[in-house]
Amino acid sequence: MTQRHPFHNDVLMFVTTNTKNRRPTFANPAYAFEAVDCLYRLQGIHPFFLFGFVIMPDHCHFLLNIPAPYTISQLMNSYKTGLTFDIGIGPLWQPRYDLRVPDDGWSTLRYIHENPVKVGLAASADAYRWSSASGKYDVSVLS
């Protein structure tokens, strides 16, 4: 089942997707690593601009922009299906995802990066390994 949105691409999008029953699947470092790796492999298939992300134990946040002709529906379907296949457990995800168009991309990015700190998973945003704030991953620059 696809979700209906008034926009599909060429706009800054803040996306949140949850694991099934909010299971802490990505507390397992091997699964968290694969969640990040899958995100970057997906850029080779459906090119998009990734401004930031965080892989939390039971959900993921992404700040991105998808140029036409690809859509957010295609991207999320590919990501969720591909990651489920890659780690070999399922069902992995809740069926839908939350999509918002932020007024302020920098504030949204700060929210994403501070999420692990807020729940006590890291002392600082850059100390959380499964986040673009860690400095370990390539991301686009917000303009």
Q: Where are the domains of the chain?
A: 13-134
At the top level of CATH, the class of 13-134 is alpha beta
pLDDT for position 143? 52
The confidence band for 2, taking pLDDT boundaries of 50, 70 and 90, is: very low
pLDDT for position 9? 67
Q: What is the pLDDT of residues 38-59, one digit of tens each?
A: 999 999 888 899 999 999 999 9
Handedness of CA 125, 16, 92, 48 (dihedral sign): negative
Q: What is the pLDDT of residues 95-120, one digit of tens each?
A: 999 999 999 999 999 999 999 999 99
Phi-psi region of 139 (alpha: psi -120 to 50; beta: other; left: phi over 0): beta
